[in-house]
Every structure is written in C-alpha cells, then in structure tokens.
Amino acid sequence: MMKINLKVWRQKNAMSKGKLVDYELKNIDPHMSFLEMMDTLNESLILRGETPIEFDHDCREGICGSCGMMINGQAHGPVAGLTVCQLHMREFKDEATIYIEPFRAKAFPIKRDLRIDRSAFDRIVQSGGFISVSTGQAVEANTLLITHETAESAFDSAACIGCGACVATCKNSSAALFTSAKIAHLVKLPQGKKEATKRVLNMVRQMDIEGFGHCSNTEACEVKCPQNISILNIARMNWEFNKTGGVLR
C-alpha cells in the first residue's frame, strides 16, 4: 500500500482565484487507477463534510477524452499514449508528491476545480458542416474504391478523441493537431472531398475565433497525444488551406 501527498488545484469558478490545496492519502492500492484514487479522495472529503473535487470523466476506458488533467506538469501524466483514466498509481513512488491541475488555455476556461469548458472544440467541428450524401438505401461499401493505405490513414486521423492534451501541452495553446485531424480524416476519403475547400476554411477560421494560438512546430502535441495523432495532419491541413488561397470559391 502507498502513501501519497497531493497538491490539487481548487477553484470555485472561472471568475474566482484558485490555489493548490494539500491532501494526504494513506493505504492507496498501487493497482488503483488514478481516477479511482481521486474517487477515494472525494469520499474522504465528503465524510469530513468538505466539498469534493470536481473533475470530468465518463467512459474510463480511454475513449471519450473527458478525463484530461495536468499531472506533475504533464498532460495525462507521465506515461505516453494514455489518458488519465488509464493511468495507475503504480506509476508513482510511495510517499510521492503529485501536483494535479486542469488543462490551461484561454479557449478552455475553468468551470470548477479540474473541470474545463472544451466546447470550443465542438464549435470547430460544427463549423466544418456535413458531407453531401444521397438519401435512400445505403450504397454497397465495396462500390467506393478506397485503398487500404488511404482507409488506414483516414482512420488514424479519425482516432482523435478531442481530449485537449495537445492544446494544454503546446506553449502557444494551439489547436492545430485537433483541428487538422478532423479536417484530414474527411479530406482523405471520397465522401469528404466535395466540401473540402469550405470545410478547411471554416474550421481554421473558427479555430482562430476561439482564441487558440498558432502552431510553431515544436511537436509537443504529438508527444502527449494519447492516440498518437501525427503532426503530418497539420501539414495536410496547411496544404489544403494554402490550396484555397484563403478564399472560398
């Protein structure tokens, strides 16, 4: 069993001043997930009549991306390719001090404690619109000639779960990796080519409107992405944008 010291960011709302608060937990099972440890902490706070720490989570299977937080200064913690819910306490030493903070970015305002508002991502996706398809009976899949390599590449881009680790890790709080993945996975497929010009212009414009910073190619986003989304998606987004000349035709 482990003893750990926690320094957790507590903040009432976006307008309040937050601070790190010290907590101590004993008898923590090393095989606990990080979120189970947070649940244990909240149970102890409730028993003491204190307000529990708010944090986002849902699937706890590394699929939804809602559990993102900074752990010892790293998005999702010290292990590459994992979300917080997949992180286990055995990755930390006994009597370790762990700093837990929310993802920080102008476009990700804090709601409370470790909870942030990631709706800016939703608005970027919404700005991309829909793809044009014929209504009626579904077309036989094999009538769309797509090579295996193209399908795999599109799937790799579509694997982005929108957790925001790329933004939190980037020194400029850029959303280029997220936005480019959403653009690239459609533009690589025949279904997404008809609106490709409109999509890239609208999504890049919305990304700027939301207040995200510019990409300066440090590649930090790729390093901390739990889905290992490649920065080649950013190159594809820039290429698609430059093809338009910045003007919708």
Query: Mind listing the pLDDT tens digit for each residue in 20-62?
Result: 999 999 999 999 999 999 999 999 999 999 999 999 999 999 9
Per residue in 130-189, pLDDT tens? 887 666 776 776 777 888 999 999 999 999 999 999 999 999 999 999 999 999 999 999
What is the rounded CA–CA span in Å between residue 17 and residue 132?
47
Per residue in 103-117, pLDDT tens? 999 999 999 999 999
Question: Domain spanning 118-244: which superfamily?
Answer: Alpha-helical ferredoxin (1.10.1060.10)
Other C-beta atoms lying within 10 Å of the C-beta of residue 145 = 7
pTM attached to this predicted model: 0.92
User: For the chain, what are the domain ranges?
Assistant: 2-111, 118-244
pLDDT of residue 144: 76
What is the rounded CA–CA span in Å between residue 87 and residue 85?
6
Instruction: Specify the CATH architecture of the domain 2-111.
Output: Roll (3.10)
Mean pLDDT of the chain: 93
CA–CA distances in Å: residue 81 to residues 68, 181, 190: 13, 17, 30
Q: Indicate the helix (H) or strand (E) that contains 26.
A: strand 19-28
